[in-house]
Amino acid sequence: MQLIFMGPPGAGKGTQAQLLAALWKIPHISTGDILRACVVAKTDLGQKAQSYMDRGELVPDELLMDIVQERMNQPDARAGWILDGFPRTVAQAAFFDKLLCDVEGSTSGKDCALRAVNLDVPDNVLVARLLSRGRQDDNEETIRRRLQVYREQTEPLIDFYSGRQQLVAVDGDRAMELVTAELQQVLSIDS
């Protein structure tokens, strides 16, 4: 089981990824968590990433891919994984596709076992959810800007994975338990 969880900020992808990863006994791989762990552990990749982060720059795609690849090569990921927070752009997805195909020995992303899950939630619901978290940086202006960035940079992944028949779309504007139940049904390990 190789899954990418996508959706705008506040859609519930991290929550659902954690629940299903625990249920299916596969790792929930969050790129943000990986970056922080590499930095804390002072790995070579973590030190390289830290230099960009210290300057307030985004970690370059290639370095991020190396970090993701290193994590995916760990023994607990052999049975599958749920990736959350990566890829964020079509360029990253194409690079990731090549990595997966190299690992699996297939020639195109269409042949890989990957499935991308998009949690669809209306913007007004997302704003309300994010405001209710009470985080200091979650004001309405910042949230709307994050949603705009998501629409510009990450939303094109929906077409990318849909064109490869790898996209699973789920209505995320429901109770958490209902979303989890639908995800379990449409992503059944037996399917």
Query: What pLDDT does residue 40 have?
Result: 92
- Catalytic residue check, 78: no
Query: What pLDDT does residue 64 have?
Result: 85
Q: What is the mean pLDDT of each run of 10 residues along the chain (191 residues)?
A: 93 95 94 85 89 79 84 89 91 87 57 86 95 84 89 94 96 97 85 41
Catalytic residue (choose from 88, 115, 129, 164): 88
DSSP output for the chain: -EEEEE-STTSSHHHHHHHHHHHHT--EEEHHHHHHHHHHHT-HHHHHHHHHHHTTPPPPHHHHHHHHHHHHTSGGGTT-EEEES---SHHHHHHHHHHHHHHHT-SSGGGS-EEEEEEE--HHHHHHHHHHTT-TT--HHHHHHHHHHIIIIITHHHHHHHTTT-EEEEE-SS-HHHHHHHHHHHT-TT-
Query: What pLDDT does residue 103 have?
Result: 63
Query: What pLDDT does residue 191 have?
Result: 41
Catalytic residue (choose from 25, 42, 55, 133): 133
pTM equals: 0.84
Catalytic residue (choose from 98, 135, 145, 151): 135
